[in-house]
C-alpha cells in the first residue's frame, strides 16, 4: 500500500493506493459518524463489502454524464433525509468520476456540509476526479459549471477494481494519466501502474496544496488537455469517453502551442507518441464544428477576460496562457481534424 497526503493543514487527508484498501473504510470514518450513506451505481458491487459499525444505506444514481445534474443531487438529498442522515454522518462515494463528483457535491450542500470519503473504482477516478475536492454537476451549457470545493476525509484507491474494468474504460483513464507525463517531465511510463497512480496523485496533491481554490493558476495546470476535451464532450455526440476527449485535447494543446511558437515539432510528436501508445485518439472528429467548440471554450472556467484561455506547454513547462487568438485556435483545430 502507498499513502500520499494532500496537505491542507488541519484539513489534510490521506490517499491510499493498493489492493484491498477499500476495507480500510472504518478506520477513516470520523468518530461521530453513526450513519453512512453509500452513493454508487449498478454493476459496481462493492457496497456490501464496505463495512463499518455505522448504520449503512445505499443510494443509486444513473450511469454516465447524464447523472451529473442538480436533479440527481436533489434526489440524493431527499433520500438522505428519509434515511435520517444528519450533519454528523458521512457520505461514501463508491464508483468512477461521475459518482465522486455527484457524491462530493451532495456532501458539500447537504446540511451545508457533511463528511465524505471517496472510493474510486476507475483509473480516471483514482488519479483525478476523487482527489482535490472539486465537486460538481453539469448544465446544458457545459461541464461542471455548478459545484463546490469540498475536500474528502480520505480517498481509498483500491487497485483491485482495475482488474475488472472494461478495456475501453481503462484506456480512458490512461488518457488522463498521459496528462501527468507532461506536467513534471518525469518518465511515469517507466513505472508499474500502481506507482504511476501514486505519482499522479502526488502531482495532483502538490497542486491542490499550493492552490486549493484555483486562485494562482497552479492548480489550473491540472486541466491540461481539458479545454478542448470538455468542449468535445459538451457540443456533440462523438462517442468519446472523458479520457479519450482529454487525449485529443492534449495533442491539440501541443499543436496550438507549436503554432504560437512555444514548443517545437519534436515536442508535438512526443505528445502524439504518449497518447497513441495507449491506442487513444489523436485527431478531432471530422464532424466537429470549430465555431461550436470555440463557443463552449469561451465558457470554460479558466477564462478570465474576453479572450480564450488554455493550459499550454512551453519553455517554462505547462502553464496557463490567456488571450489566445481565436484565428489560431481554429487553425489548429482544422489541422487536427480526422
**Residue showing cell 447537504:** 110
Q: How far apart are CA 313 and CA 189, in angstroms?
A: 19
- Our answer to whether residue 134 is catalytic in this structure is yes
* Three cell numbers written together for 144: 461542471
157 in Cβ contact with 15 (< 8 Å): yes
- Measured in whole angstroms, the distance separating CA 218 from the mean position of its chain's CA atoms is 16
Q: Which of 112, 140, 237, 334 is catalytic?
A: 112
Q: Which of 134, 171, 301, 302 is catalytic?
A: 134
How many other CB atoms sit within 10 Å of the CB of residue 27?
10
- The pairing of strands 142-149 and 134-139 is antiparallel
Q: Which of 179, 242, 278, 301 is catalytic?
A: 242
Q: How far apart are CA 280 and CA 274, in angstroms?
A: 9
Assign 261 to helix, strand or coil.
coil
- Our answer to whether residue 176 is catalytic in this structure is yes
Q: Which of 68, 143, 204, 278 is catalytic?
A: 204
- Our answer to whether residue 112 is catalytic in this structure is yes
**Residue showing cell 446540511:** 111
Strands, E assignment, 41-89: 55-60
Q: How far apart are CA 60 and CA 128, in angstroms?
A: 22
- Our answer to whether residue 319 is catalytic in this structure is no
Q: Which of 223, 244, 255, 302 is catalytic?
A: 223
100 in Cβ contact with 116 (< 8 Å): no
Angstrom CA distances, 144 to 69, 93, 139, stand at 9, 17, 7
Closest CA to 289 of 251, 249, 232: 232
Q: Which of 68, 118, 138, 176 is catalytic?
A: 176
Q: Which of 219, 241, 255, 302 is catalytic?
A: 219
- Our answer to whether residue 24 is catalytic in this structure is no
Q: How far apart are CA 198 and CA 155, in angstroms?
A: 12
- Our answer to whether residue 226 is catalytic in this structure is yes
171 in Cβ contact with 278 (< 8 Å): yes
Angstrom CA distances, 278 to 119, 176, 336, stand at 25, 11, 19
Q: Which of 230, 241, 271, 302 is catalytic?
A: 230
Q: Which of 68, 171, 181, 226 is catalytic?
A: 226
- Our answer to whether residue 204 is catalytic in this structure is yes
Q: Which of 212, 214, 233, 244 is catalytic?
A: 214
- Our answer to whether residue 32 is catalytic in this structure is no
User: Count of H helices and E strands in the chain?
Assistant: 11, 11
What residues are labeled active site?
112, 134, 176, 204, 214, 219, 223, 226, 230, 242
Amino acid at each position: 500500500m502507498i499513502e500520499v497526503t494532500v496537505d491542507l493543514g488541519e484539513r489534510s487527508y490521506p490517499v491510499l493506493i493498493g489492493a484491498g484498501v477499500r476495507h480500510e473504510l472504518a478506520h477513516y470514518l470520523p468518530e461521530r459518524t453513526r450513519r453512512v450513506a453509500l452513493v454508487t451505481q449498478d454493476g459496481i458491487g462493492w457496497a456490501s463489502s464496505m463495512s463499518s459499525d455505522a448504520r449503512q444505506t445505499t443510494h443509486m444514481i444513473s450511469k454516465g454524464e447524464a447523472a451529473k445534474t442538480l436533479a440527481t443531487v436533489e434526489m440524493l438529498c431527499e433520500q438522505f433525509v428519509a434515511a435520517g442522515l444528519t450533519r454528523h454522518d458521512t457520505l461514501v462515494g463508491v464508483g468512477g468520476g461521475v459518482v465522486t463528483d455527484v457524491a462530493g457535491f451532495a456532501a458539500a450542500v447537504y446540511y451545508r456540509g457533511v463528511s465524505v470519503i471517496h472510493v474510486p473504482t476507475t483509473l480516471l477516478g483514482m488519479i483525478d476526479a476523487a482527489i482535490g475536492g472539486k465537486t460538481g454537476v453539469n448544465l446544458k451549457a457545459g461541464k461542471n459549471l455548478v459545484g463546490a470545493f469540498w475536500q474528502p476525509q480520505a480517498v481509498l484507491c483500491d487497485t483491485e477494481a482495475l482488474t475488472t474494468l472494461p478495456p475501453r474504460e481503462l484506456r480512458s483513464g490512461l488518457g488522463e494519466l498521459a496528462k501527468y507525463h507532461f506536467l513534471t517531465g518525469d518518465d511515469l511510463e517507466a513505472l508499474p501502474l500502481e506507482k504511476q497512480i501514486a505519482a499522479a496523485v502526488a502531482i495532483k496533491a502538490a497542486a491542490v496544496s499550493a492552490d486549493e481554490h484555483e486562485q494562482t493558476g497552479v492548480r489550473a495546470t491540472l486541466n491540461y488537455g481539458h479545454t478542448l476535451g470538455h468542449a468535445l464532450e459538451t457540443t456533440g455526440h462523438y462517442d468519446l469517453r472523458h479520457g479519450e476527449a482529454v487525449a485529443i485535447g492534449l495533442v491539440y494543446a501541443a499543436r496550438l502551442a507549436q503554432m504560437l511558437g512555444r514548443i517545437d515539432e519534436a515536442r508535438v510528436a512526443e505528445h502524439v507518441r504518449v497518447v497513441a501508445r495507449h491506442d487513444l485518439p489523436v485527431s478531432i472528429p471530422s464532424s466537429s464544428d470549430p465555431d461550436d467548440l470555440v463557443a463552449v471554450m469561451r465558457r470554460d472556467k479558466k477564462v478570465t477576460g474576453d479572450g480564450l484561455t488554455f493550459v499550454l506547454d512551453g519553455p517554462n513547462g505547462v502553464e496557463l496562457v490567456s488571450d489566445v487568438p481565436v484565428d489560431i485556435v481554429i487553425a489548429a483545430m482544422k489541422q487536427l481534424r480526422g
